[in-house]
Amino acid sequence: MVATLTDQVFVHPLVLLSVTDHHARSVSRTSNKRVDNGKTVNVANSFGIPFEEDEKDPKTWFLDHNYIEGMYDMFKKVNARERMIGWYHSGPKLRASDMEINELFKRFIPRPVMVIVDVRPQTVGIPTDAYFAVEEIKDDGTETRKTFFHVPSAIEAEEAEEIGVEHLLRDIKDSTTTTLATRVEEQLSSLRGLQARLTDIQKYLVDISTGKMPVNHQIVYHLQDALNLLPDLSDAATTQSFVTSTNDELLVVYLSSLLRAVIALHALVDNKSTIGRVEFEESGAEEKKVMKGDTKGSKAS
C-alpha cells in the first residue's frame, strides 16, 4: 500500500530544453553517464547541478551541496514565489543510487519529486517519468521499505512557451505539408511505441510469474480492464462482423478502381477522337489547296 499527495506532474517545455542542453554540454555523446538537477515551480524551470558517479559502482557518487544552496538562494532573490520542488536525472531508468540522492534532497525539500527525462528516447511518447519516495507496506504487514511510487506526467506549456518551441522547430519540420511517406513514418513510429509498451507488459507479467517481482494488484486490475476492451475473436458473430466490415471497405476500393479505369478509358477515347478530328480537318485543308493549285495550272495552259 502506498499513498501520495500528488496525482499528476506537469513538465514544461523549458525544462525539457534545459535538461537536453545540460546533458549535451556536460556529457559526451558516447558516454552513458547521467546528470542530476533541481527543479522549481510546477516543474516550470530548472538548473544543472555538478554530479559525478562511478560507472563501475553506481552507489559511489558526488553531488555538490553548496552549489544547490547557492542556486536556491539566487532563485529566491530573482523570484521569491519560486521554490524548489524536486530533482531530475537523464535516466533512462531508475538507478540504485536514486533513493539515496532523494534522501539527500530532503534536506532542502520535505517531499521531493524525482523526474526522469529521457534525453535519447527510442520510442514515441512523453519522455518524462515522475516518482515520489514512499513507504511501501506489504500485504502481510511484516516489513516496510522505501520505494518510488510512479505518478502520471504530462507536458504542459503556456502560450509564450508554445510560441518559442514552434519558433525553434520551424526549420525542422513543416506541419503544413504532409506526404504519404510522412504519414507512413508516423504510423510506424506509433506501432514501435505500442510494441515497446507491450514488451514491457510481457516482461512485467513474466517477472511476476517467476517470482522476480511482487504482485501489484492495481497494475493487474488496469491490465485486466485494458484486455476486457479487446474484441473476442473466437466469437463467430464478432469474426463475421469484422469480415463484413472489411468486405464493405474493399468494395468501396474496388468501385473506386473501376470508376477510375472507366474515366481513364473515356479520356483516352475522347483524346483519340479529338486527335482524329484535327487530323481529318488538316488533311481536308491540304486536299483543297492541292485542287486549287491544279485548277490554276489548267487555266494557264
Domain spans of the chain, in order of start? 9-172, 174-230, 236-301
State which amino acid sits at residue 136: E
Lookup: cell for 251? 468494395
| Closest among 96, 110, 91 to 37, alpha carbons compared | 91
What CATH homologous superfamily does 9-172 map to? Cytidine Deaminase, domain 2 (3.40.140.10)
Q: Which residue has the cell 560507472?
A: 55
Query: What pLDDT does residue 32 have?
Result: 41
State which amino acid sits at residue 4: T
- Judge residue 172's burial from the number of C-beta atoms within 10 Å of its C-beta, 0-12 exposed, 13-18 middle, 19 or more buried: exposed
Decide: 155 and 17 in contact? Cβ < 8 Å: no
Query: What pLDDT does residue 255 have?
Result: 92
Decide: 38 and 71 in contact? Cβ < 8 Å: yes
Query: What pLDDT does residue 142 have?
Result: 66
Query: What pLDDT does residue 170 have?
Result: 65
How far is the C-alpha of 301 from the C-alpha of 297, rounded, in Å?
Answer: 6
Three-state DSSP state, 243: helix
Residue range 55-74, pLDDT digits in tens: 777 778 888 888 888 888 88
- Which pTM does this prediction carry? 0.53
How far is the C-alpha of 212 from the C-alpha of 227, rounded, in Å?
Answer: 23
Three-state DSSP state, 264: helix
Lookup: cell for 200? 514491457
Decide: 59 and 52 in contact? Cβ < 8 Å: no
State which amino acid sits at residue 7: D
Query: What pLDDT does residue 141 have?
Result: 63
Query: What pLDDT does residue 172 have?
Result: 59
CB within 8 A of 35, min separation 6: which ones? Answer: 19, 22, 23, 26, 27, 48, 49, 51, 89, 90
How far is the C-alpha of 243 from the C-alpha of 246, rounded, in Å?
Answer: 5
Residue range 103-137, pLDDT digits in tens: 888 888 888 888 888 877 766 677 788 888 888 77
Given a cut of 70, the residues of the chain with pLDDT beneath it are: 1-8, 20-41, 122-124, 138-143, 160, 165, 167-178, 287, 289-301
Query: What pLDDT does residue 262 have?
Result: 92
Query: What pLDDT does residue 247 have?
Result: 92
